Structure formats: C-alpha cells, structure tokens
Amino acid sequence: MTVLLTHGYFLADDAAEQRVMKPYPPLGILYISAYLRLHGIENEVFDTTFSKRSALEEHILRTAPVVVALYINLMTKISVLRIIRFIRSQPSLASTRIILGGPEVRAHVTELLAHGADAVVIGEGEATALELIRSLESTGIAGLDAVHGIGFRSSSGELVVTPERTLLKNLDELPLPNLAGIDIGAYQRVWKERHGRSAISVSTMRGCPYTCKWCSRGVYGLTYRRRSPDAVARELKLLVRQYNPDTVWFVDDVFTISHEWLSGFAEALHREQVSVPYECITRADRMNEQVVRQLKASGCYRVWIGAESGSQKVIDAMDRRVKVGQVREMIGLCKDHGIETGTFIMLGYPGETEEDIEETIRHLKSCSPDLFTITVAYPIKGTEFFEEIEARMTGAFDWETQTDRQREFTRTYPRRYYDFAVRRVVNEMAFHTGRSALVSKSKSIAAKVCMWWIRMAS
C-alpha cells in the first residue's frame, strides 16, 4: 500500500509568515510517519512548506497513492479542501482514499466528509491512523466501524462516528518523528539567514489541563501526558549530533507545568552531556525562583509567558486562572536571571473596554517583555468561547472559503476599532522602548484618535 502524508501549508502563499519567516517542520505528520513505519506501513512525506501546490499535485498524479493522509488545522483548512477537490477531480485517482486528521477535524466531521474525505481521525492520530489504514487495505469502508476514533460515511451514506480511542499512556513508546522524511536543512537555512541562528522543533508533552475558553483542545483534550526526561535528553543529543541546531523550540503548551519533570530534565541533560539553547512557553503560575534558575541552568535563553491581557477582568473572563501580577513578576524574574521574555496579547475579547486595552498597555510597559505577539480574538468552533458568542455572530459565513479567523460577532466596539487598537499597542510599546520614538508616538496617537472616532460613530 502506498501512503502519502502531507499538510497543505505553502509558505509562499502566507504573506504574514513570509514577513516573520519562522517556519517549523510538521511534527504531527512526522510522528505519524514514524509510527506507521515502526508497524510496517511504508509511507512518504510530502512537506509542502517550501514547495508549490503544482508540485504536490504533480507528485500525487505521478505516484497515485492508495491513501493520501492530510493534516488539517484552522490555518490550512482552505488549502486542504482545495487539495481534496483536486484529487477528486482526477479520474486516475478515483481509487485514492483521503484521510484527514488534526485540530480542525473534531468540530467539522460532517463538513469534511461532505467535501470528499473518506474518513477523518478524531483526536490523537498514531494508533488510529495505523488501524484505519490497515482496515482500508483489508476490508475497505466496510470494516471501519471497528476502528475507534474516526468518522466516515457507510456504504449506505450514513454518518458513523466511532467511540473515542483511549489515549496513549506512555509517550516514550512513540518513535521519534521522521525528520529524515523532509528537508530539515531548508528550515535550518531559512532560520539562519533571517534570524542568525538555526532552530529545530521538539515536543515533550501532549495536552493541556487548563481551561482557557478560546483554546482548541480538539486533538488531545484536557490531558497532560509527557515523555520522560531521559527520553527527551536522548532525542536532543541525537538532534545535536545529526543536525547541530543553534537552538531548540519546545512546542509544548506549558513547559514548566511539572517542576519534578523539569528538575529531572536538567539532570538528564547533565548525564547525557548535551547542551543546546532552547525556547519554550509556559504560565506564570507554574514558575518561581527555583524554576527560573533551572530553566537558565538547562539552557533556556527565552521563555514565553502567557498573559493575553493586562486587565484581570478580561483574564478572568477567559478563564485563564492566572493573575496579571504574577505575569509581570515572572517576566521580571526571568530578566533578572538573563532569560529573554516574550508574551502574548489578545484584544477584542467579549466585554473588553477601552480602559482594559489601556490597562494592557500599562501592563506591557511595566514588565517590558523583549517580545510580544498581538492578535484580535476570534472564536474557534468547539471552544467555550465559540459557544458563548455563537448567538451574537454577525454576517454570512462560508465554511468552505473562510476560516474561524473570519467569523465575526457583536463586540464592545466595531471590528475596525480593534485594528486601530492593535496599532496603538504596537506603536505605544515601540515608543516606550525607544524605537523610532517620535514616529511611533505619532502613530499611537493617531490610532487612539481613530479608536475614539469609531467608538463615537457606532
């Protein structure tokens, strides 16, 4: 059986990412690839990141895979649907089975099957993909009802969603992702050229036990499972030997969630005699002086500490379960220990007022992170945020041509207001840090005037 794994993300089509230029390898399908190989299913990965859509289409036509397995998330949905349409339009691919997996699946099983998928993997993918592919090979659609964790249409057209699959308990049983299946050097070169140092991605955990209302948990749910410190240290040692990255990016949601694990990780790095600078994400309430010291000692050069807002009222509305004062304190503590800091800001959450936005500006000025990202809140289907504002959604929404980022709802102020609010925050912080001070302050004031004008006109 010929299995092709791909993901439909084309960097050349993403103007915003081209400006940032921090692409990461598709770890999800690389884990699937390695797991299938471990269990005797040969497969090929077509990494679309640096490729063109025409190249993928030509490859599919030339190889005519029996199964095309596509990773789909919010960002790639429209692209993946286009790939499905292409496959379905080709007579020579009439027998090709299309499988989808990823965070976009759980809330859109019916739509994805209607748009041409033969089956969708709901939740964690490795064991389900293996069993699904084996079943397709042996009995076709007729035997799929025995596979847990999938959705499909029966031969009579009936929608079938099988029981949830039990999540893998021991992540050390997973093989390392199949990095050899893609051109890691392409990622290394881009990072080196644009940012002065190469980077490689590593996952140590799955799931997140926290309940932030805007966060999608469509794959791993409210879980916390982690690879052992020794296993991660051995992987890092292998990566350093094979690829010699300048830095490592840990993709985990809350890297310091377990202080015991972090301590064991530092010890494992010492035993394996491996040292590589790394970057991670965490929460302020899972940090303290000892944690910061361990981060520094184990090679952490930058930590991203989630905040989302400088207003405690907004943070509580999100069910973030963290105090804004903790965020400021931990950013300051990291800086004291020589660790760079980053944070995340979200504007336009339900109930947020202009005073809350100004409070966010004061928060950022107070803690002065080295970096911050900023976005306007959008509701992802399947989240508590989506459920809360569903009745207040406005305008037509075409699922096939739009993503959840384009869903609109009645906010405190009109949508255009928040575009200027983002400009105000960005330029006010640029002024605060002394970057093009006069120009930045002028832009900040202009943005505030536009915010006032839109607010008054609404």
Domain CATH number, residue 294:
3.20.20.70
Q: Which amino acid is at 129?
A: A
Flag whether 445 is in a domain: no
The pLDDT assigned to 444 comes to 97
Reported as a single tens digit per residue, the pLDDT across 267-289 is 999 999 999 999 999 999 999 99
Distance CA 411, CA 314 (A): 13
End residue of a domain, out of 374, 407, 430: 374
Domain of residue 58, CATH code: 3.40.50.280
307 pLDDT higher than 70: yes
Residue 308 sits in the same domain as residue 270: yes
Work out how many domains the chain is built from and give that number: 2
Residues 172-198: what's their mean pLDDT?
Answer: 96
Residues 358-385: what's their mean pLDDT?
Answer: 96
Residue 116 sits in the same domain as residue 18: yes
Flag whether 298 is in a domain: yes
176 pLDDT higher than 80: yes
54 pLDDT higher than 80: yes
How many other β-carbons are positioned within 10 Å of the β-carbon of residue 413?
Answer: 19
Flag whether 302 is in a domain: yes
Residues 235-264: what's their mean pLDDT?
Answer: 97
Flag whether 452 is in a domain: no
436 pLDDT higher than 90: no
Residue 96 sits in the same domain as residue 187: no
337 pLDDT higher than 90: yes
The pLDDT assigned to 1 comes to 67
pLDDT band at 458 (very low <50, low <70, confident <90, very high): confident
End residue of a domain, out of 161, 187, 203: 161
Residues 225-242: what's their mean pLDDT?
Answer: 98
The pLDDT assigned to 270 comes to 96
Residue 146 sits in the same domain as residue 229: no
Flag whether 54 is in a domain: yes
Residues 3-31: what's their mean pLDDT?
Answer: 94
pLDDT band at 339 (very low <50, low <70, confident <90, very high): very high
Structural domain of 337: 175-374
Flag whether 343 is in a domain: yes
Reported as a single tens digit per residue, the pLDDT across 109-125 is 999 999 999 999 999 99
**Pairing state of beta strands 300-308 and 340-347?**
parallel
331 pLDDT higher than 90: yes
335 pLDDT higher than 70: yes
Distance CA 281, CA 289 (A): 17
Flag whether 323 is in a domain: yes
Flag whether 428 is in a domain: no
The pLDDT assigned to 336 comes to 97
End residue of a domain, out of 161, 183, 217: 161
